[in-house]
Amino acid sequence: SIRRPVVDRVDLALANLLELSQTSERVGKERRLAVLFADIIRYTPFAESLLPYDVTHVLNRYFFLMAEVIQSHGGYVSDYIGDGLMALFGIHGDGDQAARAVRAGLGMFEALEELNPYLQTMYGREFDIRVGIHVGAAVVGTIGIAPMDKLAAIGDAVNVASRIEAANKEVGTRFLVSKDTVSELDESFQVGRSFELPIKGKSGTHVLYEVLGLNSG
């Protein structure tokens, strides 16, 4: 077991919260995760043309559909950042997180086919998204103080996944994953072009792969 020293009033308050908590996630654990980031392409011009009520409604409709897909593949939506989201796969130590994350990413593009007819009818516009996934180690735990606390992941894997999602814009793709992610996929996934790119905050260049879909058969 691990005991943390209590040296001041803040330590004491946090220790009491930990003791009262009914979930083990209060104690951070290192996990090998698949981290997925997704962002809406050119969302700002779309939002600027809407009333505030409509902006909230459209985002909530989008996030509802995306969360359905992510949860159906065993993922957990950890955060919403503006019109973007972050999802985690493998938070309970379950395996196959890379495959589940990539399948979820593909499912998110399919969910757009349900959302876009509605957006076209109501607003004369459609959405498209970019997705990035990386597999690596991160610390998973509950961050914040109730009622604002949430399960979150912290670590290099999270930062890299975010940079991979952003790299889509640079190379003109919609779905990029890291080499570490591809190494855990089987032949059922269709992988296309590869790109050797620098990633902000990391030294050297890194090979990223475009995901095209699932192989038939």
- For residue range 103-124, what is the model confidence (pLDDT) as tens digits? 999 999 999 998 999 989 988 8
The answer to whether the CB of 207 falls within 8 A of the CB of 196 is yes
The DSSP element (H or E) to which 175 belongs, if any, is: strand 175-178
- The CA-atom distances, in angstroms, between 25 and each of 36, 168, 198, 206, 216 are 20, 33, 34, 32, 39
CA distance 147 to 149: 6
Other beta carbons within 10 Å of 40 = 21
Q: Is the pLDDT of residue 72 over 90?
A: yes
Contact 26, 20 (CB under 8 A): no
- Residue 50 has a pLDDT of 85
Model pLDDT, residue 25: 53
DSSP 25: G
Strand 189-198 and strand 175-178: the pairing is: unpaired
Asked whether 38 and 105 are in contact (CB, 8 A), the reply is yes
Question: Regarding beta strands 205-214 and 84-89, do their DSSP bridges make them parallel or antiparallel, or are they unpaired?
Answer: unpaired
**27 falls in which pLDDT band (50, 70, 90)?**
low
